[in-house]
Amino acid sequence: MKGNIIRESEYNHERKHKIIIILVLDFISHLDSQHLSEPFQRMIIIIRQFAPCLLPLLLLLQLSFLYPMTISAAVPTYQMANGDKLPAIGLGTWKSEPNQVKNAVKEAIKLGYRHIDCAAIYGNEKEVGEALAESFAEGVVKREDLWITSKLWNDSHDPAHVIPALKKTLEDLQLDYLDLYLIHWPVSLKHGVVLPNSADDMLPFDIAKTWSGMEAAVDADLTRHIGVSNFSIHKLKVLLKNARIRPEVNQVERHPYLQQKELAEFCKAHNIHITNYSSLGSRDRPANMKPDDEPILMDDSTILNIAKKVGASPAGVLLKWGLAEGASVIPKSVTRKRLQENLEADSAVQLSDEDLKIIRALDRKRRYLDGSFWCLKDSPYTVENLWDEQATSGSAGAEL
């Protein structure tokens, strides 16, 4: 069964540790030390005296200073124009409860995650920063081996506010630079307004002006790459006409119920990588964001049948579909088991061409996060002009 591969690999790795320890101690116990220098003879005597205690102690420590505790799957990467590589499987941090996200990030990094997706509006970048700082200090990972994404919130779209907002994010994350900075939404709010109460809190979105601030952030070496989130084809066309530095990523809701084929084709044609959010249907978002008649993606009979056939979880099938479509995915989890399963989605889940064809037929153009709460009375925004299409309404909430 595919789902057992992880546990079997970890068991074999642990067994190798024990064999190595036993062989080393056995070698020392039978070593003829007469021909060794006096300091080495003393060391051998000491080791022999304490060998009965050393064996269980070393087994307990698992030789963590020599061998990794966990075998992490080989995660595919996508190469940016400058050669930087974006890991295709990342950890999402939206909806992670306070005091959980720090442990989740540290555990994820230990398991092999090298892509962490953040945002100022998530309200937990300080915790993420603590996790990153501790992981660096403990020698678990180096900064240059991680890909860290964050996002510009809607009240800082004025070019004068972009770099200060980014510097606050860097301060919270305890970093000198980001790998990727995104415009979170094509929606502008008055500076200092987190969420609008009325149309008076809202401003028209000026793509070119905001993008000039993003480009200035690249010029200042505060971020290596810039991109957007929740952008339609129309908005990307406008941006591309005005951009000095091209957007390299568009992070959007995408899953079998909302496949966005035309958007994916446009982005591919213009070398804009897509990162999928809500790959699993965002089932854990607050109840007031979900209509009563909402279809549950993870309970779809087609997904369940394919998962059973290939020996995987429904989440594994959904993530593998996203990866097979050429996107990166950023599922959120705070438990070690789910973190490991998500990380193994590419290597442990095998979908045939027929499986992928069946999944592609599930498209309903169904948005779980339709952004409708931006569409206040007399505001510049409607669901139609937000997405530049006649979308099927999903919920009263939006991905923040």
Sign of CA dihedral 320, 321, 323, 327: negative
Consecutive H or E run containing 335: none
**How far apart are the C-alpha atoms of 41 and 399, rounded to whole Å?**
66
Full 3-state SS string of 195-242:
CCCCHHHEECCCHHHHHHHHHHHHHCCCECCEEEECCCHHHHHHHHHH
Q: Which of 122, 257, 277, 368 is catalytic?
A: 122
113 is known as an active-site residue: no
The helix/strand/coil state of 124 is coil
147 CB contacts (<8 Å, ≥6 apart)?
84, 85, 86, 87, 90, 114, 115, 116, 179, 180
204 and 380 in contact (C-beta within 8 Å)?
A: yes
Give the position of tokens 């050393």.
Answer: 54
Q: What is the DSSP string of 18-73?
A: HHHHHHHHHHHHT--GGGS-HHHHHHHHHHHHHHHHHHHHHHHHTTTTTS-SSPPP
219 and 168 in contact (C-beta within 8 Å)?
A: no
Q: What residue type is 51 in one-letter code?
A: A
- The Cα angle at residue 91 between residues 85 and 96, in degrees rounded to 5: 155
**How far apart are the C-alpha atoms of 218 and 178, rounded to whole Å?**
10
User: In this structure, what token pair is assigned to residue 43?
Assistant: 């060391």
The helix/strand/coil state of 160 is helix
**Alpha-carbon separation of residue 28 from 45, 48, 57, 64, 65 (angstroms):** 9, 7, 17, 21, 20
User: In this structure, what token pair is assigned to residue 32?
Assistant: 């003829």
305 CB contacts (<8 Å, ≥6 apart)?
none
CA 90 to chain centre: 3
Which residues are identified as catalytic? Answer: 122
